[in-house]
Amino acid sequence: MLSSMTGYGRAEFTEKNITAVAELRSVNNRFLEVSARLPRSLSVRENEVKELIRKKILRGKINATVTVEHSNGGSVPLRINVEAAKEVYKLLNRLRRSTGMKEKIKIDHLLHFSEVIEQEQVPEADEQEWTAAREAIEKAVDGLRAMREQEGRELEKDLRHRVHMLDQQIGRIEELSTAQVPAERERLRERIRLLVENEALDEGRLELELALMADRLDVTEECVRFRSHTKFFLQAFADGEPAGRKLNFLLQEMNREVNTIGSKSSAAEIAHQVVQVKEELERIREQVQNIE
């Protein structure tokens, strides 16, 4: 089953008057890249937060935001950092004198600096916050995965339809190529007769050249390989592993076969079909860029 790299997950968890809310946003990326915005009390847990996400998400750029709130029944342990307050006061006074300001330094000026009033580190409270945050993150990751998988199912339906259309177009190219060979043989034979009208014609050499020409025009091998790639492309949907990189590789191989078909044939109708196939491959490639 395919999984998209685009999604959103949100969850909250409350325990002992502490409520944690986790929000995850995901977009496509070549590798897994996780960034986390955490409250100061959980900043030391950043690596643990990223590890919770890495356990369940393999590719994508993930932005995680976690907030923690204490309800009325609980208290947030705060303390005044006296030393920091004194230093801020000194700095503001120095700034006032250097700029010639007459306004006196007030307490509300000091409160603009987060260093003055800080949350006191209480091990038990920290553990309670982390427990709530961890539960919220895990639920948010599950929600994110569910959304990515849902979008992946929609992508799979679309890709199956597009690949089926590609197989039909390749079949049409093969039919046109098969019909082209006899016509090209007759055209070449006629041109040679005109060139050697008054000279003896070496039928053996002519047949050899015609056989070589037919081999150069034959695209059966390329069409068979193209269908083989589309077969593996569809099989990758059910492998149970992240398929994005594999699908991208198979698209490159399909494009290589189509380019070879285009270089072999000079027929206008085949060239038109080749252009359509390449356009469809590009549309599929854009879809695959978003698959995990």
pLDDT tens, 248-275?
999 999 999 999 888 877 778 888 999 9
* Of 92-106, 163-177, 184-198, minimum mean pLDDT range: 184-198
**Tokens at 278, concatenated:** 């390449």
**Tokens at 113, concatenated:** 């600096």
Q: What is the pLDDT of residue 276?
A: 93
Q: What is the pLDDT of residue 200?
A: 59
Correct CATH for 7-75+122-149 of 3.30.230, 3.40.190, 3.40.630, 3.20.20: 3.30.230
Q: What is the pLDDT of residue 37?
A: 94
The pLDDT of residue 8 is above 60: yes
Scored b (16 or more CB within 10 A) or e, 79-102 reads eeeeebbeebbeebeeeeeeeeee
- Name 205's Cβ contacts closer than 8 Å, sequence gap at least 6: none
* Of 84-98, 185-199, 248-262, minimum mean pLDDT range: 185-199
* Of 44-53, 99-108, 215-224, minimum mean pLDDT range: 215-224
pLDDT above 70 covers what percent of the chain? 83
Phi-psi region of 240 (alpha: psi -120 to 50; beta: other; left: phi over 0): left
The H or E element that residue 92 is part of is: helix 82-99
Q: What is the pLDDT of residue 72?
A: 58
- Name 38's Cβ contacts closer than 8 Å, sequence gap at least 6: 45, 46, 49, 66, 133
Q: Is the pTM of this model over 0.75?
A: no
Cite the residue boundaries of each domain of the chain with CATH code 3.30.230: 7-75+122-149
233 falls in which pLDDT band (50, 70, 90)?
very high
Residue scoring higher pLDDT (122 or 106): 106
46 falls in which pLDDT band (50, 70, 90)?
very high
* Of 126-130, 139-143, 243-247, minimum mean pLDDT range: 126-130
121 falls in which pLDDT band (50, 70, 90)?
low
pLDDT above 90 covers what percent of the chain? 46
Q: What is the pLDDT of residue 199?
A: 58
**Tokens at 205, concatenated:** 């050499």
The pLDDT of residue 201 is above 60: no
Q: What is the 8-class DSSP label of residue 111?
A: T
Residue scoring higher pLDDT (184 or 275): 275
